[in-house]
Amino acid sequence: MTDPKAERIPFAVELAPISMGSLPEPVEFTRLFKLGIERAYAVAREELGPNPTAEQTYALHRTMAKGFDLAKGYKSAFEAGRKLFSELQAELLADAVGEQDGVPNSNLTIPDAEGDITLKVGSSNVHTMDEEGLKAAVAARVIGHDRPETAGSAESMSLTTFVRDLVNGDTTEDPERLGEVLAEALMTGMDTYAELGSFKPQVSKVREFAAEVARAGDDPLSGAVLATIDTKRKLDGVTMTRKTIPRKRR
């Protein structure tokens, strides 16, 4: 263990508003921080004597516990500062090269004597779905499509036509079957909607459904299905790397 009394430890370290340059290098800061802890502990331990009782150590344990919590808090503070630096770099990069949906338009390399800094933009698409519009499109598909038992026959008809004829008495079908027919239509609609995704609609399956509707000749409805998809870019972060520049011999 380093002798904690061998070196004077600064009482406080000043932080500049933006640059961390006034802090010592991380290795030196760690050394000074640990040395300060060891020094304070050695002084307090000496005051306790060689064989303190458990009760006599309580006060020092409380002090060290507070120090532990404080160090843990500073760890979170420095991590928050690191995250903020990254966010501010992304903001500055977007101001310099332009942006779309908050995502910088290009990468940037900054020449630096200690090694060139490269800011690399990472992004991905974020899809949001108009679920109510999609449900309406599925419902329109179900009520406008030929009923399965009549499809391909000379008497093929849509659910809308079938229900209208049933209500008006223009069919030999039993009017009591109306509830059954509507229930079947609801189940068909729910099954069709569920096939578009797992709990939440999936973009690829919604597009497949739009193509199916278009193949059936209903291009406007196909367009309504596709209109439920809203795609925007999301910033995943800006990665910084530094390239070491070989120093020339003089």
Average pLDDT score over residue span 66-79? 92
Q: How confident is the model at residue 114 (pLDDT cuts 50, 70, 90)?
A: confident
pTM of the full structure:
0.62
User: Would you state the pLDDT for residue 220?
Assistant: 93
Task: Read off the pLDDT band of 154 (50, 70, 90).
Answer: very low
Asked whether residue 34 carries a pLDDT value surpassing 60, the answer given is yes
- What mean pLDDT do residues 89-110 have? 94
Whether the CB-CB separation of 121 and 104 falls below 8 Å is answered with yes
Q: Worst-scoring range by mean pLDDT, 117-121, 189-193, 197-201?
A: 197-201
Q: What is the pLDDT of residue 6?
A: 56
168 vs 151: CA distance, rounded Å: 22
Domain range annotation of the chain: 131-197+212-218
Instruction: Report the pLDDT averaged over residues 73-77.
Output: 92
* Residue 70: per-residue pLDDT: 92
pLDDT at 98 over 50: yes
Q: Of the ranges 13-17, 184-188, 221-225, which is most confident?
A: 221-225
Residue 240: band (very low, low, confident or very high) from pLDDT cuts 50, 70, 90: confident
The pLDDT-based confidence of 10 (bands split at 50, 70, 90) is very low
pLDDT of residue 46: 93
pLDDT at 61: 92
Say whether pLDDT at 16 is over 50: no
Average confidence (pLDDT) over 90-118: 93
Q: Mean pLDDT, the chain, as a whole number?
A: 83
56-60, 199-203, 220-224: the lowest-pLDDT one? 199-203
Higher pLDDT, 160 or 156: 160
Q: For residue 173, what are the contacts with CB-CB under 8 A and spacing of at least 6? A: 162, 165, 166
Percentage of the chain beyond pLDDT 70 is 84
